[in-house]
């Protein structure tokens, strides 16, 4: 796969997708949006890939939606063209996705990281929703995903003031899963993704689906959904293998069946 704004590679069962517009701090324009959707769809179909890492550069994961591109848009263009709806492809990715964030993750960059399943961040990472300083508000899920991730007080603080939060604060409030030194970022994310990819595929996809369902439904419905998925995994060969291997004190040989 060859792209104008992305680099893609595979490392064993992990796809590594790197945003690559260094001169614009990885600002997210419509080319990035369509190329990323394309790359994720391709890796989604590739059987050997079990998890995906999305990253940027050391200076910026992404400094937001491309302001140059947005500047000239009027309401009718935005509304009729359903501006930025193509980013939904990222959140709709079924395979687990880790955001490996170094440097700025601002505006759409923070929102893109939050579309991933969790964030591993380097000590240099900075998060924020500065849209208010441009006369707009978050448009790729920031007002919703950030609030669910960190609660109303912090979300309001960030969205209404546009301030940046450093990585220690981001971890403390629950936006970031792990902090690592910058030089460890990609390896940590890829190793973590490889570990996820080593588990039975059906269980991994269902685990992701079940956690995500908790954001969409009541506790009762969510618990019923979880239990049905849990029951269904007893129909898989990998459940038999996983439990037999435990009892026999050996390593399981999963077949993704």
Q: Provide the binding-site residues for ligand HXC, judged by CB under 6 A.
A: 24-25, 27, 63-68, 84, 104, 106-108, 130-131, 134, 138-140
Give the tokens for residue 175. 């936006």
Residue 76 neighbours by CB under 8 Å, 6+ apart: none
Identity of the residue, 41 or 73, whose beta carbon is nearer to ligand HXC in the bound complex: 73
Residue 65 designated active-site: yes
Reply yes or no on whether 222 is catalytic.
no
Closest separation in Å from C-beta 25 to ligand HXC: 4
Considering beta carbons, is residue 107 or 200 the nearer one to ligand HXC?
107
Q: By Cβ distance, which residue is nearest to ligand HXC? A: 107
Catalytic position from the list 65, 170, 203, 207:
65
Which tokens is 15 given?
Answer: 């796809």
Q: How far is the CB of 99 from ligand HXC (least distance, A)?
A: 15
CB of 162 to ligand HXC, least distance (A): 8
Please list, residue by residue across 77-101, b when 16 or more beta carbons sit within 10 angstroms of its beta carbon and e when fewer do: eeeeeebbeebebbbebebbbbbbb
Measured between alpha carbons, how far is 255 from 61 in angstroms, rounded to an integer?
35
Q: Is residue 221 among the annotated active site residues?
A: no
Q: Which one of the listed residues 64, 99, 111, 155 is annotated catalytic?
A: 111
Q: Closer CB to ligand HXC, residue 136 or residue 243?
A: 136
Shortest spacing between CB 5 and ligand HXC, in angstroms: 13
φ, ψ at 248 (rounded to 5°): -90, 5
Residue 3: CB atoms within 10 A of its CB come to 17
Separation CA 21–CA 44 (nearest Å): 24
- Selecting among 131, 170, 189, 202, the annotated active-site residue is 131
What's the DSSP call for residue 132? G
131 an active-site residue? yes
For ligand HXC, the closer of residues 35 and 131 by Cβ is 131
Find all residues with CB under 8 Å of 183, minimum gap 6, and list them: none
Catalytic residues: 65, 108, 111, 131
């Amino acid at each position: 796969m060859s792209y104008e704004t992305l680099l893609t590679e595979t490392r064993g069962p992990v796809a590594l997708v790197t945003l690559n517009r260094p001169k614009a701090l990885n600002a997210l324009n419509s080319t990035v949006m369509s190329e990323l959707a394309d790359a994720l769809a391709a890796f989604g179909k590739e059987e050997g890939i079990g998890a995906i890492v999305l990253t940027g550069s050391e200076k910026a994961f992404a400094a937001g939606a491309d302001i140059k591109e947005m500047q000239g848009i009027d309401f009718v263009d935005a509304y009729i063209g359903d501006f930025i709806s193509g980013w939904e492809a990222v959140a709709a990715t079924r395979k687990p996705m880790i955001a490996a964030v170094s440097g700025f993750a601002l505006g759409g960059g923070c929102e893109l990281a939050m579309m991933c399943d969790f964030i591993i961040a380097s000590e240099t990472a900075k998060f924020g929703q500065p849209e208010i300083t441009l006369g707009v508000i978050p448009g790729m899920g920031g007002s919703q995903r950030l609030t669910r991730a960190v609660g109303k007080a912090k979300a309001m603080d960030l969205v209404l003031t546009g301030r940046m939060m450093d990585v220690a604060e981001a971890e403390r409030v629950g936006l970031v899963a792990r902090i690592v030194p910058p030089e460890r970022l990609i390896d940590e994310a890829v190793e973590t993704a490889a570990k996820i990819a080593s588990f039975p595929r059906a269980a991994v996809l269902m685990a992701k689906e079940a956690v995500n369902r908790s954001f969409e439904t009541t506790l009762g419905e969510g618990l019923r959904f979880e239990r049905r998925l849990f029951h269904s995994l007893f129909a898989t060969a990998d459940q038999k293998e996983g439990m037999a291997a435990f009892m026999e004190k050996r390593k399981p040989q999963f077949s993704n069946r």
